[in-house]
Chains A and B, each alone.
Chain A
C-alpha cells in the first residue's frame, strides 16, 4: 500500500519539479488570441499559420507562445486575455483578428498593465490606450492614398457600396471626414451582407446614379460580389477596392470582372515588386518566402503579415527590455512597453513602425501601395 502511494506520488513530484524548472528559466511568454473559427476565420487562419513561423528564441531567451481561438467573440477574447494575464503570466499579448475581439483584449491589457499588439484596426479611443499598439494600417491612412488616386484619375462623383456592418461604416465615415478635401462627392450609399446571394438591387441603383467611380468597402471574396454585379450590368467606370479585398481568392472569384480595378494594399502582398531600397522589402521577402514554402505558393494574405510584424517589433524590443528586468515580472512588462513605444523605427513587412506616446499606429505612407488588377494578377501602380 505504502509503495503504491509513493509510486503514485513520483510523477506528481516530477511534474512539480519541471514546473519549477520552467519558471526558473523565465522564458518570455506570449499570449496570442485569434479568431481561427467563426465569422473572422478568413482573417484569423492566416494569422494563426503565421504564428508557426515565429522563431523559438529572441535575445537568448526562449519564447513560450500560447495560441487560443476566440471565434471573433469579444467575450471569449476577454476570457482568453484574462487567462493569459492571471494563469500564464504573459509578458505580451497579441491579437485578435476582428475589431470587437481586439477591443476586448485591449481592455484587459490596460487594466493588467500588459503590452498588447493588436492585429485588427480599432477605433481611435482604443488605439490611444497606453498599453495597446496596432499593427494594421488604419482606415484613414488607406483612405488618404486611395482618395488621392481617385482625385488624380479625375473622379468627382462616387457610388459607395459596402458591408452592412462596422467595416462598411468605417469607409463611409472616411468619405464623410476627408472626402471633400479630395473633391469627392458620394451620390449613392448602398449596403449588403457577405452571405447575400445577390446584390442586383444595390448594383442597379448604383448604375442608375451614374457615378464616375464606385468604391467598394468590403473584404475578402465578399468584395467580389458587387464587382461582378457591376460589370455584368455594364458599369464601365473605375472601381476602387480597399486593402481588405486584396487576396488571390478575390481574383479567382471575380475573374475577368476584376480587370483594371484599383486596390490599396500593404506592401507585404508583393514584396518582389518593391524597389530594393524599400525598407519593407527584406522583412516582406523573408516572411512571404517562409509562408509560401510552408503553406503552398499563392497562399499569402494581407492579414498574416501582421503577426510577422508583431514579432519584428518584439525581436528588437525584447532585448532592450531584458536589460532592465526579468521576464514574468511587472517591471519587464513596463520596460517592454517603453521599448516598443520608443525603440523604433521598426522596419517590418507591412510598413515602418515608429510609435510615439501619442501615436500607437506608427505607420506612414510607406505602409500603402496601390495595385491594379490585370489578367488575374496584382500589378503595382503609383
Chain B
C-alpha cells in the first residue's frame, strides 16, 4: 500500500526530471552547452502560471521584452559593418515585435480569468522565446569555445537568471492551481488528474522529439550538428540556426515542466536549480547522449528519491546525488580516457 504511493510519487517526479534531462541532452549534443539554467525556465514557468492564476500580470513579460531588446542590441553590434535590410528586419521582428506582441496579449488576457489550459499555453508562449534570447546573448558569441568555457558561461547565466527571478517574483514561494482538479481511484490507488497530465505531457514530448529528429529537415540538421559541427557546416547546415532551435526547444520543455510541476508543489525563485540538478543526474546516467536512457534514468531518480524520503529522509539528497558516482566510474572505465576536444 505504502509502496504503491511511493512508486506513484516517484514516477510523477521522475517524469518531470525526465523532461529536464531530455532538454539537457538535447542542448549538450547540439551545442555542447551543459545548460545549468534549465531549471530556471521551470521555475519561471511555474511562477508565471501561479501569477496568472492570481489574475496578475506576470513580471516575466517585462523580462522577456528586456531580453529581446538586449538581443537586438547584440544583433545591431554584429551588423555594425553593414548589413542587408532583410537581416535587420528579421532581427526587429524576432527581438522587438515578438516580445512586444506577447507583452500586449498577456496584459490584455491576464485579468480576464482564462480557463487553466489557456493560462498554461500563455505561460509556455511567454517563456519559450527566452531560450532563443539567452542563446543570442550568452552563447552565440561563444559558439566555438570549449566545453569548459561554455560551462562557466552557464554558471553565469544561472546566477543572473536566479537573481532576476528574485527581483521579479520575490523571495516567497508560489503555488499554481492544478490544470484539472479531479482524482481517480484505480483499485486502492488514488491518482490525481494533474499527475496524469504530467505522464501524458512527458510521453507526448518524448514522441514529439523523436518525430522531430527523425522526420523533419530541421530535426535532421540538429542531429547532423550534434554528430559533427564542422561537417554539418560544410554541407550547408546553419549551425547558429540549430543553436537557436535547440535553445528554444529547451525553453519550451522547461516551460511545460514548470506548468506541470507548479500546481503540485511550492516553487521558489531558486527551486529550479535543484530540480535541474536531478534532471542532470539522469542526463549524466544517459551519458549526455542517449534520450531513452536519460528518460528511464530520470524515472529511476524519482523512485530512488521517493523511497529514500520514506526510509531515510535526512539522507535523501546524499543518496540521489550519490547515484552519479558509480555511474561516472562505470562510464569512465567502459569508455576509456578521451582527451578533451
Contact = CB atoms under 8 A, between A and B. Distances in A.
Report whether chain A binds chain B: yes
Interface of A: 37, 39, 41-42, 44-45, 164, 190-202, 204-205, 208, 220-222, 224-225, 247, 249, 253
28 contacts: A42-B171, A45-B170, A45-B171, A164-B313, A164-B316, A192-B309, A192-B313, A195-B268, A195-B274, A197-B264, A198-B9, A198-B12, A198-B13, A199-B309, A200-B9, A201-B6, A201-B307, A201-B309, A202-B309, A202-B313, A204-B5, A220-B173, A221-B172, A221-B266, A221-B268, A222-B173, A222-B266, A249-B173
A197 B310 contact: no
Interface majority SS on A: helix, strand, loop or mixed?
Answer: helix
A197 B313 contact: no
Contact of A41 (B12, B171, B271, B273): B171
Interface in B169-204: 170-175
Contact of B265 (A42, A198, A204, A247): A198
A90 to B, nearest CB: 27
B163 A190 contact: no
A366 B9 CA distance: 44
Contacts of A39: 270
B144 interface: no
B19 to A, nearest CB: 13
Nearest to B3: A204
B261 A193 contact: no
Contact of B9 (A194, A201, A208): A201
Interface of B: 2, 5-6, 9, 12-13, 16, 163, 166, 170-175, 261, 264-266, 268, 270-271, 273-275, 306-311, 313-314, 316-317
Contacts of B309: 192, 196, 198-202
Contacts of A193: 274, 316-317
A222 B175 CA distance: 11
Given A200-B5, A204-B5, A253-B266, A190 B313 contact: yes
- B170, B264, B265, B270: most-surrounded residue (chain A CB, <10 A): B265
B274 to A, nearest CB: 4
Nearest to A169: B314
Contacts of A200: 5-6, 9, 306, 309
Closest A-B pairs by Cβ, 3 of them? A201-B309, A201-B310, A41-B171
Nearest to B273: A195
A198 B306 contact: yes
A204 B13 contact: no
Given A42-B172, A202-B313, A221-B172, A195 B271 contact: yes
Nearest to B314: A191
B258 to A, nearest CB: 12
Contacts of A194: 268
B273 to A, nearest CB: 8
A40 to B, nearest CB: 8
Given A197-B264, A204-B5, A247-B172, 11 more contacts: A164-B317, A192-B316, A194-B268, A195-B270, A198-B306, A198-B309, A199-B309, A201-B6, A205-B310, A220-B173, A221-B266
B173 A253 contact: yes
A201 B313 contact: yes
A192 B309 CA distance: 8
Nearest to B43: A195
Nearest to B275: A197
A197 B16 contact: yes
A202 B92 CA distance: 52
Nearest to B172: A249
Contacts of B264: 197-198
A41 B171 CA distance: 6
A196 B308 CA distance: 13
A199 to B, nearest CB: 7
A244 B9 CA distance: 28
B33 to A, nearest CB: 24
A164 B314 contact: yes
Contacts of B170: 45
- B2, B171, B264, B314: most-surrounded residue (chain A CB, <10 A): B171
Contacts of B265: 196-198, 225
- A190, A191, A197: most-surrounded residue (chain B CB, <10 A): A197
Nearest to A194: B268
Contacts of A198: 9, 12-13, 264-265, 306, 309
A323 B130 CA distance: 61
Nearest to B318: A164
Contacts of A191: 313-314, 316
Contact of B6 (A164, A204, A220, A249): A204
A277 B317 CA distance: 50
Contacts of B163: 37
Contacts of B172: 42, 220-221, 247, 249
Contacts of A247: 172
A69 to B, nearest CB: 11
